[in-house]
Structure 1
Amino acid sequence: MVSFVRAHSPEQREVRRTTILDTARAMLDEMPVADITLNGLSRKSCMAKSNVLRYFESREAVLLELCAEALEEWVIGLEPKLSAAMSPSDPAPVRANRIVAVITASLAERPVLCDLMSAQAGVLEHNISTGTVLAYKRASVATISRLTDLVTRHLPELGAENAGRFTRLTALMATSVWTHSHAPKAVVAAYEADPSLQPYQLNFETTLQEALEVIMAGLLSQ
């Protein structure tokens, strides 16, 4: 570990924060959220744990910031994909199913985001201050609102209120399905050992698409 020199200027402090975030981001490409520890983060950042805590109050605060960032990047990347897939002349149910298909496929392409989102309520929102929660909630709400506007634009028949319900339920279903479709090794072994249990072994993309299609159809029927 290199010797630590305290940052004095705002620019130096921002460089340190960026280093920690970049390190955690790289670690997420190699391991699940559950395996990232403060000790590991500090070691890979070439800082003592106490120095990492000068910039972030906890491991959870680092990962929560990356969760908000990944969520925003996903929605930004989703906009051109939806535009390319949609045809305004198609009937509303056809456009609704295309929205579901594009959203589902795009989430399946972002395992780090899904892992972070699935850890949000049970892990990442613990061991942090009210200020950190406020910053995260405000950022994520703004991003989900942007997604709501996007869905409304391509499916005005749904209405803004139901589009909001759909996007919030999308986030909720994605976190739940991700958790259940990435079961521990012992659970996977049990599925493989007993063929009668295999229908309960979920595929993330297939299960999420089925769930979102049902939700979308119900909201659209209103």
Structure 2
Amino acid sequence: MDDVEGPAFQRARRPEHRELRRQEILDAAEALLAEMPAEEISLRELGRRLGVSKTHVVRYFESREGVFLGLLNRVLLSWLEALPDEWPALPCEPDRVMRAWADSLAARPVLCQLWSLLPSVLERNVSADTVRAYKLLDLERRTRLAKLIRDRVPALSADDALTLTRYAVVSLVGLWPFSNPTPTVVEATADPRLTGSRVDFAAMYGEILQTTLAGLLARA
């Protein structure tokens, strides 16, 4: 299975066929993420899910990390497109917007997991061109997010809104692993004396966003 590709996955020659193959690989990666952590998913496992060799996968993505960067881009765009309908309508209190932001991300564990792995996993074993392309797309999408924030918090400047998106990503990278601990940590923190060490992602992330927003508004 690792060396033979079925006829359905013969090498794509036309651009639209290449894009179709890329999306099929991303679909398989997203399905696997629902079953196991990203760190346990290899190119061979991706190929096995698709019924092709791992060589087929690297025709479209340079590495496993490249696949996950592509998937992060896709799920991030999907979230941004849905966000206006998930945030409270105007007029609304800024704190409600921040809580809705946290809740919308908590409902998307694949996006949160991939984002949390960005500096430690996804930006490794890929070329500078791949990282550059990702970061340019990330800037474009955070700029779009900043505009959505300013629509609901007009007192925030454009620069501070973009700063808020940067702080939000950095906070998520740190918080997500703590709120999704290993079974060993879950067992250990079942001790009543460690109740305060358990982390609810949506609740704490909402508080972080609210506090950051308040600080930016006060500084302005």
TM-score by length of 1: 0.90
Larger displacement relative to structure 2 (141-150 or 209-218): 209-218
State the partner residue of 1:41: 46
Are 1:67 and 2:64 an aligned pair?
no
Q: Is the 8 A contact 1:152 1:160 kept in 2?
A: yes
State the partner residue of 2:207: 210
Are 1:195 and 2:192 an aligned pair?
yes
State the partner residue of 2:176: 178
Q: Is the 8 A contact 2:30 2:110 kept in 1?
A: no
Q: Is the 8 A contact 1:38 1:49 kept in 2?
A: yes
State the partner residue of 1:116: 114
Amino acid at match of 1:9: R
State the partner residue of 2:145: 147
Are 1:160 and 2:158 an aligned pair?
yes
CA distance 1:42–1:96, change in 2 (3 Å): same
Q: How does 1:14-93 map to 2 (within 5 A)?
A: 14-82=19-87, 85-88=88-91
Corresponding residue SS for 1:156: coil
State the partner residue of 1:102: 100
Larger displacement relative to structure 2 (144-153 or 15-24): 15-24
Aligned residues: 214
What is the CA–CA distance in structure 1 between the aligned matches of 2:74 and 2:17, rounded to whole Å? Answer: 22
How far does residue 75 in structure 1 lie from its aligned partner after superposition?
1.4
Gaps of 5+ in 2: none
How far does residue 112 in structure 1 lie from its aligned partner after superposition?
0.5
- RMSD over aligned CA atoms reads 1.6
Amino acid at match of 1:39: R
Amino acid at match of 2:209: L
What is the CA–CA distance in structure 1 between the aligned matches of 2:25 and 2:90, rounded to whole Å? Answer: 43
What is the CA–CA distance in structure 2 between the aligned matches of 1:42 and 1:64, rounded to whole Å? Answer: 17
Of 9, 15, 19 in structure 1, the residue corresponding to residue 14 of structure 2 is: 9
Amino acid at match of 1:205: A
Amino acid at match of 1:218: G
TM-score by length of 2: 0.91
Identity %: 39
How far does residue 103 in structure 1 lie from its aligned partner after superposition?
0.2
How far does residue 70 in structure 1 lie from its aligned partner after superposition?
1.1
Amino acid at match of 1:220: L
Amino acid at match of 1:187: V
Amino acid at match of 2:198: Q
CA distance 1:8–1:204, change in 2 (3 Å): same
Gaps of 5+ in 1: none
How far does residue 175 in structure 1 lie from its aligned partner after superposition?
2.1
State the partner residue of 1:134: 132
* Cα deviation digits, residues 89-116 of structure 1 (max 9, x gap): x5xxxx2101101101100110110000
